[in-house]
Amino acid sequence: MSRVHSLARSLVSALAALGVAAYGGAALVTVADVIGRTVDMPVQGVVDLVQLFVVTGAWLVMPYAFMTGAHVGVDFVINSLPKALRVPLQLFAAAVALVLVGLMLWYGFETFEVRSMFGDRSQQLGIPVAWYWYPLLIGLTVSLLGVVLETAATWQRVSRHE
CA 112 remoteness from chain centre: 17
pLDDT tens digits for range 93-107: 888 989 999 999 999
Distance CA 57, CA 21 (A): 7
* 122: containing domain: 2-159
* CA–CA distances in Å: residue 14 to residues 18, 64, 81: 6, 9, 35
pLDDT tens digits for range 26-61: 999 999 999 999 999 999 999 999 999 999 999 999
Q: Which of 30, 76, 81, 74 is nearest to 52 (CA)?
A: 30
At residue 73, the pLDDT reads: 63
Confidence of residue 139 (pLDDT cuts 50, 70, 90): very high
Q: Span 64-86, mean pLDDT?
A: 76
Neighbouring residues of 13: CB distance < 8 A, sequence distance ≥ 6: 64
Q: Span 139-144, mean pLDDT?
A: 94
Q: What is the pTM of this model?
A: 0.84
Angle at 16 between CA 13 and CA 19, to 5 degrees: 155
> For the chain, what is the domain count?
1
Distance CA 71, CA 151 (A): 13
pLDDT tens digits for range 54-69: 999 999 999 998 888 7
Backbone angles phi, psi at 88, to 5 degrees: -60, -35
pLDDT tens digits for range 110-127: 999 998 898 889 999 999
